[in-house]
Structure 1
Amino acid sequence: MLATLESVKIMDEANILTRMILESDIAESYRFYLYKMKKSQKTQDKIKAFVQVKEQYEDVQRFGRYHPDYKKVMQSIRELKREMDLDENVANFKKAENDLQNMLDEISVLVGHSVSEHIKVPTGNPFFESSCSGGCGSGGSCGCS
């Protein structure tokens, strides 16, 4: 593939943007809370307990209410999930993860719209998905067909 001056410039700008993202306070916060979550034995024990019950939950889901341990497993998974989610390290990590994802979504929308306003950027966040304001149940009049 022949590299044109324009494609080299775009790659340089993309590398600068990548460095800016990696060096941002939001990315640093994400790495910090990920480290804290992984290094806390108490937090890891909660995660491990949840994962073990989650495997039982998946087995119970195959049979539904007819599984002999249905009520016990359903109650256990709810309790362990709540306990894990209320852990300070997990909560801080999830917040940092959401902040990073929101920043990446905003950047994706900006880059996509700098090319064309008609580019659809899959962000997973309904706030950014404004190209189809009426929903896809509007008979195609929204233009997202």
Structure 2
Amino acid sequence: MRYALILFLISFCSCQFFQKKRLDSKSILKNELHSFKWDELDQYPSFEICDEGVDFKTNKQCFESTITSHINNKLKEIEDIILMSSKDTFLLELLVTKTGKISVKNLKSNLVSDSTTSLLKYSLNESFHKLPNLYPPIKRSQHVQALFQLPIIIKTD
């Protein structure tokens, strides 16, 4: 009777009770891709002139201020190109590659002609070679490329 009771109880316990749950690589990858925030960086691109080891916010501010001041200086140099419009807003798309190269991917404007826009784009691309060394953005300890959109508001008197 005792043996029958033990056999009866064992038959209700499946072998899977003792097995560990295994996750295959595809399900792990799928879970990671869902939790991954594609539009955020762990570290912004940083110029050589910025302090190393600074926090995310300070690094972002240094990158933005360096780019902004460089673009402002370049626009002052090529004022004659821009004087055609009295007020306009450009949407500048900057691409920072995995190797730390920066370039203008796109430049959009509503009022300025395409030839003026392409000339401005060329001038900005050429001027980026004069910037200090740029370290690429980082996401999960990997160098990645990033696209930044900057509005440039032009007001001439």
TM norm structure 1 = 0.29
Higher helix share: 1
Greater RCO, CA 8 A, separation 6+: 2
Larger radius of gyration: 2
Higher strand share: 2
TM norm structure 2 = 0.27
